[in-house]
Amino acid sequence: MMPTADTSAAAHLDRVRQDHPLVQCLTNPVTVNLVANALLACGATPAMVDIPEEAGLFARGAASAVLVNLGTPQHDQRTAMLEATEPGPDRPRWVLDPVAVGTLPVRTALAQQLLERGPTVIRGNASEIGALAGGAGGRGVDATIGTEEALPAAQDLAGRTGSVVAVSGATDLVTDGERVVRVEGGHPLMARITGAGCALGAIVAAFVAGDVDPLEATVAACCTYAVAGELAAERAARPGSYAVALIDALDAIDADILAARGRVS
């Protein structure tokens, strides 16, 4: 039986705040500033080392975890992504965020290549997870199907890759192919700012760093983020100020708040 969020998620958050995992991000310029500030607010340390001839060295020699986000995978960044995820004993845990995969050929081919390298976690919306598992993909970065509809695809993808798969939406689904955990929370304003999904991908990377159960750590990351999303909505009602409040909420959230408000089933 899964631990309830009031113990497990809170403990994971405390661990991140204590360990300050160094999260190497290979991500897109659209949302990279939010991603970096979200990591800092959680207690992690971002390092956007994403150029060829540095990315692999940094991943193996310094990073606690790696985020690979396919938002705008320019040529050199693709090379760096392959360097950073090169299989080997020193490779840290890593998260694949398959932004807008499906019909866009460059990122879709790269995503399939990266899948074969066994990401620790794959985090996407329902359309992206569906496309990765063999479906058709969505319209750009937005999901066109609900998370529950994507559950079979998520379980199939997890079973095939050995990855934890997190499907983000109004309710998040997290599965390792057998266990399925649902995380409630968040707020509709999260879909009205750019980068809310990207930031979660980075936070998942921070939480799975180290010797922890990847599914539990992913659930804890989703739960922390969902509660922060609710807290932010108590401070801000429109998207500009909501993006600011979200970073503040990630900084403010602690184990007690998470224990009181996290909703995992």
Q: Which residues of this protein are in contact with a copy of itself, per CB under 8 A?
A: 22, 28-34, 36-37, 40-41, 45-54, 57-58, 61-62, 71-76, 100, 103-107, 139-142, 192-195, 238-241, 243-249, 251-252
**Residue 150 to residue 103: CA distance in whole angstroms:** 17
Specify the residue, 215 or 246, whose C-beta has the smaller distance to a copy of itself: 246
CB of 136 to a copy of itself, least distance (A): 12
Specify the residue, 212 or 244, whose C-beta has the smaller distance to a copy of itself: 244
Q: Is 123 annotated as a binding residue?
A: yes
Is the Cα torsion angle 163, 92, 77, 141 positive or negative in sign?
A: positive
Q: Is 2 annotated as a binding residue?
A: no
CB of 23 to a copy of itself, least distance (A): 10
CB of 8 to a copy of itself, least distance (A): 25
The pairing of strands 180-184 and 172-175 is: antiparallel
CB of 17 to a copy of itself, least distance (A): 12
Q: Is 192 annotated as a binding residue?
A: no
The pairing of strands 180-184 and 263-264 is: antiparallel
Specify the residue, 104 or 255, whose C-beta has the smaller distance to a copy of itself: 104
**Residue entry with tokens 């955990």:** 181
178 phi/psi in degrees, rounded to 5: -110, -60
Specify the residue, 135 or 159, whose C-beta has the smaller distance to a copy of itself: 135
Best CA proximity match to 219, nearest among 161, 172, 150, 163: 172
Specify the residue, 38 or 181, whose C-beta has the smaller distance to a copy of itself: 38
CB of 159 to a copy of itself, least distance (A): 29
**Residue 243 to residue 167: CA distance in whole angstroms:** 21
Paired strand residues for 95: 67, 121
Q: Which two tokens stand for residue 206?
A: 């921070």
How many CB atoms are closer than 10 A to CB 5?
28
Specify the residue, 141 or 255, whose C-beta has the smaller distance to a copy of itself: 141
**Residue entry with tokens 């602690």:** 254
CB of 57 to a copy of itself, least distance (A): 7
Q: Is 81 annotated as a binding residue?
A: no
Paired strand residues for 67: 25, 95
- Extract the annotated binding site for substrate: 48, 195
- Extract the annotated binding site: 48, 123, 168, 195
- Extract the annotated binding site for ATP: 123, 168
